[in-house]
Amino acid sequence: DLLISQIAAGEVVERPASALKELLENSLDAGASDIRVDLEEGGIKTIRVADDGAGIARDDLPMALARHATSKIESLADLERVASLGFRGEALASIASVARVAIVSIARGERHAWRIEAQDGAVSAVEPAALNRGTVVEARDLFFNTPARRKFLKTPATEYAHCLDAFTRLALARPQVAMTLSHNGRVMARYPAQDWQARVLAVLGDDFARQARLIDEAAGDVRLYGWAGLPAYAKASRDAQFLFVNGRFVRDKVLSHAAREAYRDILHGSRHPAYCLFLKIDPVRVDVNVHPAKTEVRFRDAQAVHRFVFHALERALAGNQSGSEAN
């Protein structure tokens, strides 16, 4: 019922950015190659995600909004290797319990699109609609029916900043997907489909690109690749530190400590290095299911991972080949 959904929603939908992350992951799960996000008022008023993915068939639309209808975890083995990004089967239902949701979608092979709406636990009939490809999910007036939670939202500017973070992390993780973000009608970020090197530089910007070193090292079945900013590009904040494990953005003490150590002798004062590093590791050597909505991982052999990342980064920072630094 609605109350249970709203309580469950608390775990998934804390603020506009968490709803946006779920919608983006759904678009990626659907095989989208082009995703457009439109936000209004930091996502509090509107979050709209349009994709060109596989779409949702007419008969599946009501189920897409039902709780636990679509959980893809069927065994412990699934939990061990969460290949797909979405696996809880309740994000849309949770969002629909705390916002006004409309989905328009056209599955491949259908002659036209269909639309469904949900509000306050009530799901509308499925109606014919117009859309050429993919899916558009719109969530409006977040927490309109849960004032206590709405009170915890910050200003639109702050909520927008969190949405931008969520968008940026997925943009870094999925460079092959074209992604556009607009806020209050203005395009804030636009990335074409590109390789990971170009995507990272596009996200982190020209100043970073001029002061960054490329890393790509493998040892056994572990690979670390990415761009590491030189000390000259260090920042006052940690905003430009991105770590990904098997394609998921993570906050991880082992990895960030290894990075800090690699910079220790070359970066002085209170400034922070900028980097975007991707670690690929056999999924059985890392736990990602600490909490589905969190971004933590636990390595089975943290010391080996630490050593590998530290040395790879240290070598890259000491080496003399670099990005555009050579000019």
Question: Where on the chain is the footprint of Mg ion (CB under 5 A)?
Answer: 26, 86, 91
Assess contact for 60 and 105: CB atoms under 8 A. no
Question: CA-CA distance, 104 to 123, in Å (whole number)?
Answer: 14
How far apart are CB 91 and Mg ion at their closest, in Å?
A: 4
Binding map of ligand ADP across residues 121-150, x = CB under 6 A, - = no contact: --------------x-x-------------
**Within positions 27 to 56, which residues make up the interface with ligand ADP, using CB under 6 A?**
27, 29-30, 51, 53-56
Question: CA-CA distance, 10 to 267, in Å (whole number)?
Answer: 41
How far apart are CB 202 and ligand ADP at their closest, in Å?
A: 24
Cα–Cα distance list, 65 to 14, 60, 87, 113, 226 (Å): 18, 9, 14, 17, 38
Question: CA-CA distance, 19 to 149, in Å (whole number)?
Answer: 14
Closer CB to Mg ion, residue 91 or residue 224?
91
Cα–Cα distance list, 306 to 101, 154, 167, 241, 285 (Å): 44, 36, 28, 17, 13
Give the phi and the psi of residue 103 in degrees, each rounded to 5: -120, 130
Instruction: Say which entry of Mg ion, ligand ADP, none residue 56 contacts (CB below 5 to 8 A, set by partner kind).
Output: ligand ADP
Closer CB to Mg ion, residue 37 or residue 91?
91
Closer CB to Mg ion, residue 53 or residue 273?
53
Cα–Cα distance list, 52 to 83, 105, 164 (Å): 21, 10, 21
Amino acid at 232: A
Residue 118 makes contact with ligand ADP by CB under 6 A: no
Instruction: Say which entry of ligand ADP, Mg ion, none residue 64 contacts (CB below 5 to 8 A, set by partner kind).
Output: ligand ADP
Closer CB to ligand ADP, residue 29 or residue 165?
29
Token reading at 212: 């960054």
**Within positions 61 to 100, which residues make up the interface with ligand ADP, using CB under 6 A?**
64, 70, 86-93
Question: CA-CA distance, 313 to 101, in Å (whole number)?
Answer: 45
Beta strands in 220-319 (DSSP E): 222-229, 241-245, 248-249, 275-280, 286-287, 298-299
In the complex, residue closest to ligand ADP by CB: 86
Torsion of CA 256, 261, 266, 272, to 10 degrees: 30
Closest CA to 26 of 106, 92, 96, 81: 92
How far apart are CB 61 and ligand ADP at their closest, in Å?
A: 8
Closer CB to ligand ADP, residue 125 or residue 236?
125
Instruction: Say which entry of Mg ion, ligand ADP, none residue 156 contacts (CB below 5 to 8 A, set by partner kind).
Output: none
Q: For the chain, first and last CA: distance in Å?
A: 62
Instruction: Say which entry of ligand ADP, Mg ion, none residue 40 contacts (CB below 5 to 8 A, set by partner kind).
Output: none
Instruction: Say which entry of Mg ion, ligand ADP, none residue 89 contacts (CB below 5 to 8 A, set by partner kind).
Output: ligand ADP
How far apart are CB 22 and Mg ion at their closest, in Å?
A: 5
Q: Which region among 22-30, 143-151, 246-254, 304-312 touches ligand ADP (by CB under 6 A)?
A: 22-30
Instruction: Say which entry of Mg ion, ligand ADP, none residue 90 contacts (CB below 5 to 8 A, set by partner kind).
Output: ligand ADP
How far apart are CB 27 and ligand ADP at their closest, in Å?
A: 4
Question: CA-CA distance, 1 to 305, in Å (whole number)?
Answer: 45
Instruction: Say which entry of ligand ADP, Mg ion, none residue 37 contacts (CB below 5 to 8 A, set by partner kind).
Output: none
| Site residues (vs ligand ADP, CB under 6 A) | 22, 26-27, 29-30, 51, 53-56, 64, 70, 86-93, 135, 137
